[in-house]
């Protein structure tokens, strides 16, 4: 994997802008002998398919039921059309955004994806380091393959203070949720993303077909197995009786009874900002903010939970209108290219969460693959934004869309 350009930043006067730098390196004759890594999400997906067995690949790539929602997410982006504006000075471009009081170099975060150890031996540490190198937040999943503390250490080794968030799946046991939140605070995570749409696992035909659920194999349980509150409830430590520990996890992990009362408990259990992920209806967005949420993430879990659900991008404008600037609105589900990021921003998102493409890059190329995929996305965003006549993300609005 050849080295990429320097980390993303606003170009200095006379400097080659980020997107152009990526192009020049690809077209540089002196680099012709170097194999060019994949530059598109489709190439990374094909490379991941070649690298992975059926179970792990389809666990990441698949959706609920007949994948109707997966397709709807992409169709929603395809229906929107950008309207480039001409004769605007875009010689200097600024991709940065302010989010929860911090200035980020781009409106992109690496989405929480669990059980990354099924894709690559470095698991979450690899994408976390790649994100830290670019200054992009990494959102660590509750069901990570390595503990959240080790993920934080990996990021700190690359960039002290590297931005990171923790994603929390609501659990049946409040003591375990409180313990996970406290650990996230101690490990330097800057926000908590509470996933609302996975109180039960969706009907995923590919996983059923391949008889594959990593949790029953003890994979993705590092945060639980190392948690003092969870361990205290076990008759024997997970190291001594892993089967019993897995059963205890399965009895705690899904929580169909999760309600606004549980959210109030979470709000009282941490000083960190809380963002609620899985919001698709404007009434839920309003109630989330009234309940103390600091932001919402418009998401249908990448199409993995409800077959035939509304596309996240289609839901975004109504949610953004309901929030009315009271808190940041983020979105995920279907983001693949720079144009997708621009469309999401134009429809009201402050930033997007980038998911499956980086997981595929991890499977096929490890840390270097994730970093290259992320840099390609940011270079694409940089060029597309400039070609549409915007010098900064602050200039992106609904008028850019046909």
CATH of the domain at 114: 3.20.20.70
Catalytic residues: 301
Per the listing, tokens 């992975």 go with: 52
Q: Does a structural domain hold residue 13?
A: no
pLDDT of residue 21: 84
With H, G, I as helix, E, B as strand and everything else as coil, classify residue 43.
helix
CA dihedral for 213, 218, 219, 223, sign (positive or negative): positive
| Per-residue pLDDT at 389 | 98
Locate 35 and state its tokens.
């194999």
Query: Of the candidates 36, 75, 134, which has an alpha carbon nearest to the alpha carbon of residue 382?
Result: 134
Longest dimension (CA), the chain: 70
User: For residue 122, what pLDDT is reported?
Assistant: 98
Residue 9 covered by a domain: no
Cα distances (angstroms) measured from residue 394 to each of 9, 19, 73, 156: 16, 19, 25, 30
Contact 215, 251 (CB under 8 A): no
Is residue 4 situated within a structural domain?
no
Domains held by the chain: number: 1
pTM (2 d.p.) = 0.95
d(CA 132, CA 249): 30
Task: Flag whether 357 is in a domain.
Answer: yes
The C-alpha atoms of residue 74 and residue 292 are separated, in whole angstroms, by 32
Torsion angles phi and psi, residue 219, rounded to 5 = -95, 145
Token readout for 189 is 């995570």
Question: Is residue 7 included in any domain, yes or no?
Answer: no
Q: Which residues contact 18 (CB under 8 A, 6 or more apart)?
A: 5, 8, 9, 11, 93, 95, 378, 379, 382
pLDDT in tens, the chain (402 residues): 544 444 555 444 445 577 888 888 888 888 777 778 899 999 999 999 999 999 999 999 999 999 999 999 999 999 999 999 999 999 999 999 999 999 999 999 999 999 999 999 999 999 999 999 999 999 999 999 999 999 999 999 999 999 999 999 999 999 999 999 999 999 999 999 999 999 999 999 999 999 999 999 999 999 999 999 999 999 999 999 999 999 999 999 989 999 998 999 999 999 999 999 999 999 999 999 999 999 999 999 999 999 999 999 999 999 999 999 999 999 999 999 999 999 999 999 999 999 999 999 999 999 999 999 999 999 999 999 999 999 999 999 999 999
Residue 127 lies in a domain: yes
CA end-to-end distance (rounded Å), the chain: 39
Closest residue by Cα to residue 154 from 127, 191, 116, 115 = 127
Cα separation, 142 vs 156, in Å, equals: 19
Coil/strand/helix, residue 62:
coil
Whether residue 10 lies inside any domain: the answer is no
Domain span at 69: 18-400
CA–CA distance, 125 with 151 (Å, rounded to integer): 5
234 lies in some domain: yes
């Amino acid at each position: 994997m050849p080295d990429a350009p320097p980390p993303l930043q606003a170009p200095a006067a006379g400097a080659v802008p980020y997107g152009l730098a990526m192009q020049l390196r690809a077209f540089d004759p002196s680099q012709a002998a170097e194999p060019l890594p994949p530059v598109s999400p489709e190439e990374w997906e094909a490379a991941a398919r070649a690298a992975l067995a059926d179970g792990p690949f389809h666990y990441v790539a698949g959706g609920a039921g007949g994948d109707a929602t997966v397709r709807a997410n992409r169709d929603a982006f395809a229906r929107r059309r950008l309207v480039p504006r001409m004769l605007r000075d875009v010689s200097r471009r600024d991709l940065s955004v302010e989010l929860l009081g911090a200035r980020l170099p781009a409106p992109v975060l690496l989405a929480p994806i669990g059980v990354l150890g099924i894709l690559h031996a470095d698991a979450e540490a690899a994408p976390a380091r790649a994100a830290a190198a670019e200054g992009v937040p990494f959102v660590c999943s509750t069901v990570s393959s390595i503990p959240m503390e080790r993920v934080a250490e990996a990021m700190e080794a690359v960039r002290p203070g590297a931005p990171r968030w923790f994603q929390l799946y609501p659990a049946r046991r409040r003591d375990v949720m409180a313990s996970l939140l406290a650990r996230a605070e101690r490990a330097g995570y800057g926000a908590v993303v509470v996933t609302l749409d996975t109180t039960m696992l969706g009907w995923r035909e590919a996983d059923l077909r391949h008889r594959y659920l990593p949790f029953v194999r003890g994979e993705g349980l590092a945060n639980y197995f190392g948690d003092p509150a969870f361990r205290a409830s076990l008759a024997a430590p997970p190291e001594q009786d892993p089967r019993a520990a897995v059963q205890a996890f399965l009895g705690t992990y899904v929580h169909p009874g999760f309600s606004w009362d549980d959210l109030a408990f979470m709000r009282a259990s941490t000083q960190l900002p809380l963002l609620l992920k899985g919001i698709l209806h404007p009434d839920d967005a309003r109630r989330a903010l009234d309940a103390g949420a600091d932001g919402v993430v418009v998401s249908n879990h990448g199409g993995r939970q409800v077959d035939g659900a509304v596309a996240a991008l289609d839901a975004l404008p109504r949610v953004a209108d309901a929030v009315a600037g009271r808190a940041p609105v983020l979105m995920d589900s279907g983001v693949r290219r720079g144009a997708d990021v621009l469309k999401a921003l134009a429809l009201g998102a402050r930033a997007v969460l980038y998911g499956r493409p980086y997981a595929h890059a991890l499977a096929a190329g490890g840390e270097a693959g994730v970093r290259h995929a992320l840099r390609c996305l940011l270079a694409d965003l940089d060029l597309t934004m400039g070609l549409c006549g915007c010098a900064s993300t602050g200039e992106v609005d609904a008028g850019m869309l046909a």
